[in-house]
Amino acid sequence: MKGDQEGLGIMGGLKRTSCLLAMILAWAVLPGIPAPLSAAPAAKAKSSVTTPSQPPFALVDPALAASLSTRSASTHTRAVLIHAAANQGRSARPVAWISGEADSVAALQDLPVILDLAVAWRLGWDAPGGSAAIQAGRFRDAALGWLDAWIKTCRLGFMPLNESRLDCLLVSWDLLRAAAGPEQQDRVTVWLRNLAEGYLVDRNGQPSAAQANFWQSHRVKLACLAAFSLGDPALIGRAEAAFCQQISRNLLADGSPIDFVEHDSLAYAVYDLQALMVAALAARAHGRDWFHYRGANGASLETALLWLADFAAGKSSHREFLHSQVARERDSAAGQGGLGKIWNPVNACTLYWLAVRFDDRWLPLAARLGRDHAWLAIVFPTAAPPVYAQPSPRTSPSPSTGITNGTGLATGTGTASSAASQNQAQLQKLLQALGQGGTAATGTATGSIPNLLSLLDTLGTSGTGSTADGYTDQ
């Protein structure tokens, strides 16, 4: 895919390889796949609206953001810390216009760095008890500076596949808003409104028939995140209507996205569904159940996951692009050796880790496919995955029920890692080592602070920054 189709979001794109470690696992025992849940009515997806007493947010509400400082040390927190430390000393590299060109692709690597800097600050690495350099708030200041540079420099082109990764900025802003000055807050508010309103109108001459595909799903994702971040009821209503319309138009009765039919590609289908899952996760954080929302034909994100599950679990296989309706795409795939190539289930790793946030019965499959994203595991932790036990039956909540707290998400303290936490003494050693390790000018942590990596090896399985937990573009 070229040009507009190379854009990547928080959760990655068509070629993500971050979960390849999972492929060394034997596939002799397949994880249990949840049976279809009882039917949820095709009712309105909304159940509550952000109130004026609650500051607006896209995905991470202020109370949840503040609570991150209570997280225990883990492989995920270490990965974020290393990635943040390895990058905070360099300057942001925003581009004036996001395209599929090499300079844009390189610049977009800034966006997950901003998110890790924001998470690292919220975790409390800047709190008393760390080194003097950490106490100075360097992660917070770097994150705010980088975010501001992108807001000031980058013009919105409203090509959603190019700009899909801007979702990193919206989630970062959830974590940083309280620390920003009034001028920066005003700039971001103007940018968010442009983003929301721009993606809620027809642009770039896209015909209505084409607006049911993955292009439209990424457009809906960005519009939803921006609308929630603004807390504007009118924009939220329009974004919700766009989401529900996309579910009705995009998903066929069996749960398969139309992209699978048009492109004969599971990679396209996964890329489509990931965008809608991020939008649904944001909605759930606001007390709205979009995950179970069903279109007129009964399809929902839940049924889409069930449709894909046999492929993801390795029970069925698919050869990509053989019957694509796009002739140029078939020719391109043939030229690159991808025509008829068997789809790699690891491509669905991120999608099923997102699904775990709605239904933890997907944990065995997600864990089989690979590791969770570090930032996602920290902000929305899950229980440690079982040893591929069969899930117990469960009744599906209706769209207006089943929301148990402000985020509507599981709030356990565990993660998918076997080394879920370390004691305070080990954490203190880690912080001290970071303060002595300096910074790196490169965009990766590997080799940048060897003393810290050596220490991590003594604490358990060490990460090498968020590039090892899902930020490496595939």
- Tens-place pLDDT, residues 435-456: 433 333 333 333 223 333 333 3
- Closest by alpha carbon to 59, among 186, 228, 220, 236? 228
- With contact defined as beta carbons under 8 Å apart, do 114 and 89 qualify? no
pLDDT of residue 303: 97
Provide the pLDDT confidence category of residue 126 given band limits of 50, 70 and 90.
low
pLDDT of residue 9: 58
Provide the pLDDT confidence category of residue 134 given band limits of 50, 70 and 90.
low
- Is residue 308 scored above 70 in pLDDT? yes
CA dihedral 180, 147, 117, 110 (to 10 degrees): 180
* Exposed e or buried b per residue across 60-92, where buried means at least 16 C-beta atoms within 10 angstroms of its C-beta: bbbebbeebeebebbbbbbbbbbbbbbbbebeb
User: What's the pTM?
Assistant: 0.75
Percentage of the chain surpassing pLDDT 70?
A: 65
d(CA 116, CA 422): 20
d(CA 432, CA 427): 9
Bigger pLDDT: 446 vs 282: 282
Read off the pLDDT of residues 354-408 as tens digits, 9 standing for 90 and up.
999 999 999 999 999 999 999 999 999 987 543 332 223 223 333 322 222 222 2
Mean pLDDT of the chain: 74
Distances from the Cα of 473 to the Cα of 259, 274, 305, angstroms: 21, 15, 23
pLDDT of residue 384: 55
pLDDT of residue 329: 82
Residue 417's SS3 state is coil
- Is residue 336 scored above 70 in pLDDT? yes
Q: Return phi, psi of residue 80, to 5°.
A: -65, -45
- With contact defined as beta carbons under 8 Å apart, do 424 and 60 qualify? no
> To 10 degrees, what angle do helices 182-199 and 233-250 make?
40
pLDDT of residue 124: 83
Q: Is 287 exposed, middle or buried (0-12, 13-18, 19+ CB in 10 A)?
A: middle
d(CA 206, CA 123): 42
CA angle 379, 383, 389 (to 5 degrees): 145
